[in-house]
């Protein structure tokens, strides 16, 4: 169960970089709870402990905040995948480790994951509506990293599917299903989480690799 957010005390003016981070933190909390288009800049300002006009000194719109949060989330995911990847060693263990990185990112950073992957666009759209937008480009970078990992196994003749694009999208859908359920339905009587994640990853690996 989510606890309702409370208004932060009004803070002194100044502290530019710190204030900007506080605004983004407030936006991330509210966006993950309610969705981007159910949140107003007034609500974000209240949670951040500043006035609405003060918020506009940092961000023109709430979509600008959502876009930056998406870009940051994807950048963290890319860095984690890079750190875990072992190039030139397409083993089962390394394959499963790459899948686990995605799951761990979502479980450890659920608010960031929600904003990047789980919030639907509203009637006015958002950064993902344009292929050259920063959120879309950041998301494509993350997908490309995942596809390169899968492509290494495909090049070695180890994948069931010959098309690395298709294989990667299929794996992504499987991973997202698990992560989104664990985030959105935490109250469900799941089995032991580690056992569930391990079994899910093993199942995806058996379906993906020969």
pLDDT tens string for the chain (210 positions)?
445 555 555 555 546 789 999 999 999 999 999 988 899 999 999 999 999 999 999 999 999 999 999 999 999 999 999 999 999 999 999 999 999 999 999 999 999 999 999 987 655 555 556 677 899 999 999 999 999 999 999 999 999 999 999 999 999 999 999 999 999 999 999 999 999 999 999 999 999 999
Tell me the per-residue pLDDT of 152-180, one tens digit each, with 9 for 90 and over.
Answer: 999 999 999 999 999 999 999 999 999 99
- Cα 193 to its chain centre, rounded Å, is 20
209: helix, coil or strand? strand
CA pair distance 26, 13, nearest whole angstrom: 17
Question: Please, what are the domains in the chain?
Answer: 14-60 (1.10.10.60), 62-208 (1.10.357.10)
| Contacts with 98 (C-beta within 8 Å, 6 or more apart), sequence order | 81, 84, 85, 146, 149
Tell me the per-residue pLDDT of 78-87, one tens digit each, with 9 for 90 and over.
Answer: 999 999 999 9
């Amino acid at each position: 169960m989510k606890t309702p957010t409370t208004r932060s005390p009004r803070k002194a003016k100044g502290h530019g970089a710190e204030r900007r981070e506080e605004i983004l933190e407030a936006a991330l909390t509210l966006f993950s709870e309610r969705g981007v288009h159910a949140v107003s800049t007034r609500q974000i300002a209240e949670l951040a402990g500043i006035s609405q006009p003060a918020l506009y000194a940092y961000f023109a719109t709430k979509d600008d905040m959502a876009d930056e949060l998406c870009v940051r989330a994807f950048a963290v995911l890319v860095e984690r995948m890079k750190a875990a990847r072992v190039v030139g060693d397409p083993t089962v263990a390394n394959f499963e480790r790459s899948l686990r990185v995605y799951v761990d990112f979502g479980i450890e950073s659920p608010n960031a994951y929600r904003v990047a992957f789980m919030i639907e666009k509203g009637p006015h759209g958002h950064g993902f509506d344009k292929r050259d937008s920063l959120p879309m480009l950041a998301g494509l970078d993350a997908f490309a990293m995942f596809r390169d990992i899968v492509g290494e196994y495909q090049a070695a003749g180890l994948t069931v599917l010959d098309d690395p694009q298709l294989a990667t999208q299929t794996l992504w859908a499987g991973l997202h299903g698990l992560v989104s359920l664990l985030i959105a339905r935490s109250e469900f009587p799941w089995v032991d989480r580690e056992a569930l994640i391990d079994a899910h990853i093993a199942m995806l690996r058996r379906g993906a690799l020969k």
